[in-house]
Structure 1
């Protein structure tokens, strides 16, 4: 009775087998349920973020955790079919630095790009499509590559290697495919959000640019443009270049970012440059390779140039670049740069037109003032002078005083005529007229003089004085007034600049104690004498008629004959 009947052994074995099968099925269901829960959690995780960069990094982390992979990466496919970004996890930063160059989409990575379907391998080294590993790269065996689609296009691919189980299963592939579908939706949403943020930044930047450009006395338009673009696109360097020397060279007229101060105003060869290509074709041009500038002190990577049209034709080009270690400029970045350049060009054109209109209004106002001075003030002074001169012709005790007043009226008329000429004269280039430069020097030195000098112009000063001759005249006025301030102890001084057929004469007088009896030419006065000699003229520093000093610098209009 102690032993079990033999006829029960068969049913018990069947029962145990059935129970084992039920337990195994339950375990598989539990595992599947766990993995489904993990997939749901992964889907929720990748859809929580709206920032594109954070979404991409989260997709990689979640994919690795979902199938217990040691390494995972997301390769973003660019417009040329190659990888423009490679977001990875699991690899030590030191190992990444030792490898150096990130994958470009060759070998198995390229196969997933080309075939656009899932690839699962037990050992990737044994596949004919494998391109091997670069130095310092860790060994990888099991491989799973799954495309990530956004709507109808392949955004990129998920790559996973070295699963904990040794090989990826079909269930692993199904889970990653499901995750990739959700990731595609999350990426699309993040891109839409990113575009909305860019549009808001673009609108804000263009609004700020328009306000700055239209503000009176604002900074240079090109400086405003590069600073505004830095708020729209994440870049390390932004410049605007314009062609010079018949297009052979490009000058940097505005710069923002790394080495901006060094680049400002520099000239660069236009031939084969990305900015030359943009200006020549009128279209956006890109370069992704490394290039060195400033004798190797500045290394740039991903670069875009767009034509900058501030008129109906390209005025120059906007250059935007990142450092080589930064992600390439994306298609969204290129679109934002292109749209910004177009809108900013219109804003600059309107600002230039507004400033031209303001200059025209100022010129018209100056012309009106000049007419009023000529037609009313001078005529009244002239009439007063004639009457006083008639009175002075009658001998009497007040005759000398009347003659002095007539002389003062004549001097005032000459001053007004000089002012009228200045009001009516507008320099054709950005170089200030000679009269304005002389006035600027007198304004600069007046604080160190007892009283501001009395200034007189005679003749077509602005028409004759230009270039090196104008520089010489400015030097004479500056040095002479500086000598008065340092040595003369004068209470008053006069500056007279006269241009006639005989040449140019600059006379500076003061009522100080005058020069010593024996003047030694040295320093500044020697320099003025040399300037006169080079032009075949003379320079003399003598005592004034009554007191003080008289400096006279006189040169002919024609250069001296060569010997």
Structure 2
């Protein structure tokens, strides 16, 4: 075997050593330089639009490369190799009419050899080799590098297949984690889980999920994870936002061309890169998944864009499954509550009602114990009213109903009180109290019970919420130390008064005749109805 064949064999062996694509590309350039004793070498990877998206060079130090600045884009002689898709060999690079010269700090180069690397039916890139002035490449050199390029094509193809298998495994692992997390009993925010996993998968600095806002003229950043997330989560974006609108409407990955395409990211990502992909759940786009990298990171590659698109599609299925599971659980809870409500109505209330009638009859036959029996009957009537309140709450189980929110407040403040407060309702409270009025009712009850816990030293507290055609009234009674008529209104009661005034109503804090304090918060419903319109 002659010396050229031995050198080619050694070069081929070096090329096929690794599986990581970056490592393989570096080995190809090193092998080509060594094979024909070139002084400088480079491998340019051709992007779909024909320019060089990557440029791996050998022979120029990092310090000199930094001084040169921007890497070649595929013009001049380099572009001629791309356009011709054939080998080009020159004795004097600078003398060729297609040469565009060298940038400042670039070392002088004389002889030039460019050879394409073809993988399957496409040209993946080109090998560029040069020598100093006075030296030249021979036809044998061209044949050796062409043979090396054939081996390099196989090595690149294998590396790309390996890279794809690694990518598919990482996507599969990330999606498995998303599904497992969303289907866990204590699953958290579905969008938050998706954002955190895609950020880790592609190395993003910031991930946001943008959804349509309350009107067609706006979007809302529903979820944000990463650098500066707290500052933008919940922000409202204009409905004509270029990046988000195109992603949702186009059904494919969209890349921001510059920072003006995503102004809501702020100054910290001015020179970064952002892509957006529609986030589809149950067949309909619910928003856009936006992934951002800062200027310190590389732009998203074609493989990473494919990864983002695949992840978004599969994560949408996982979210749909999690939402369907939550809906099923919610229906199960509603069915269970309905059963409990029927049992309370059909059995418990009837027994209490019968017991009350029996006590009333006993009071008539035993006048000496009538007063005590009447008190017990009154307690039974109160218990029946409380159970009816519970039945109504169980049968009207919307998670955000005023009744449920008030019951949650009572549960929340019970540890602060000596005894659990009693709460009852009259009238269509849930139908009447909605929006801002509902928020104020909840806030008033919370503040009133908090005042009882802090100041009243009461054994019992009773909350009564009543809705009629004309007004809504919240009454909170306690049997504590009472309130002085001349006492200065504290900030809490001042807030309750302000809330009532905002609806055209009034708030009164007064002593009870039997001891303790009564807080009455009352608003007219006509004023509230106008406000809600």
TM-score of the superposition, structure 2-length normalised? 0.90
Q: CA deviation at 1:403?
A: 0.9
Contact 2:269 2:293 in 1 (8 A): no
Separation (CA, whole Å) in 1 of partners of 2:94 and 2:339: 88
Q: CA deviation at 1:46?
A: 1.4
The unaligned stretches of length 5 or more in structure 2 are none
Q: 1:386-401 maps to which residues of 2 (within 5 A)?
A: 386-394=357-365, 396-401=367-372
- CA gap of 1:471–1:188, structure 2 versus 1, over 3 A, is same
User: What is the aligned partner in structure 2 of residue 485 from structure 1?
Assistant: 453
Separation (CA, whole Å) in 2 of partners of 1:321 and 1:142: 43
CA offsets 1:80-139 (integer angstroms, 9 cap, x no match): 222222222333334433444332222222211111111122232222222333444444
User: What is the aligned partner in structure 1 of residue 118 from structure 2?
Assistant: 149
Which of 46, 49, 53 is the matching residue for 1:77? 46
Contact 1:279 1:306 in 2 (8 A): yes
Q: CA deviation at 1:416?
A: 0.9
- CA gap of 1:530–1:368, structure 2 versus 1, over 3 A, is same
Q: CA deviation at 1:272?
A: 6.3
**Count of residue pairs brought into register by the alignment:** 528
Separation (CA, whole Å) in 2 of partners of 1:407 and 1:89: 95
Matched, 1:335 2:306: yes
Which of 417, 420, 433 is the matching residue for 1:452? 420
Separation (CA, whole Å) in 1 of partners of 2:259 and 2:118: 30
The unaligned stretches of length 5 or more in structure 1 are 1-28
User: What is the aligned partner in structure 1 of residue 161 from structure 2?
Assistant: 192
TM-score of the superposition, structure 1-length normalised? 0.86
User: What is the aligned partner in structure 2 of residue 556 from structure 1?
Assistant: 524
Secondary structure of residue in 2 paired with 1:494: strand
Separation (CA, whole Å) in 2 of partners of 1:127 and 1:171: 22
- CA gap of 1:410–1:217, structure 2 versus 1, over 3 A, is same
Matched, 1:379 2:350: yes
Secondary structure of residue in 1 paired with 2:284: coil
Secondary structure of residue in 2 paired with 1:113: helix
Q: 1:344-423 maps to which residues of 2 (within 5 A)?
A: 344-394=315-365, 396-423=367-394
Separation (CA, whole Å) in 2 of partners of 1:422 and 1:143: 84
- CA gap of 1:122–1:310, structure 2 versus 1, over 3 A, is same
Matched, 1:240 2:238: no
Q: CA deviation at 1:183?
A: 0.9
Matched, 1:170 2:155: no
Q: 1:279-358 maps to which residues of 2 (within 5 A)?
A: 279-287=248-256, 293=263, 294-299=265-270, 301-324=272-295, 326-358=297-329
- CA gap of 1:448–1:501, structure 2 versus 1, over 3 A, is same
- CA gap of 1:314–1:474, structure 2 versus 1, over 3 A, is closer
**Superposition RMSD on alpha carbons, in Å?**
2.7
Out of 334-343 and 265-274, give the one that drifted further: 265-274
Contact 1:76 1:157 in 2 (8 A): yes
Out of 238-247 and 186-195, give the one that drifted further: 238-247
Q: 1:86-105 maps to which residues of 2 (within 5 A)?
A: 86-105=55-74
- CA gap of 1:208–1:464, structure 2 versus 1, over 3 A, is same
Q: CA deviation at 1:40?
A: 1.9
Which of 1 and 2 has greater Rg? 1
Q: CA deviation at 1:236?
A: 4.1
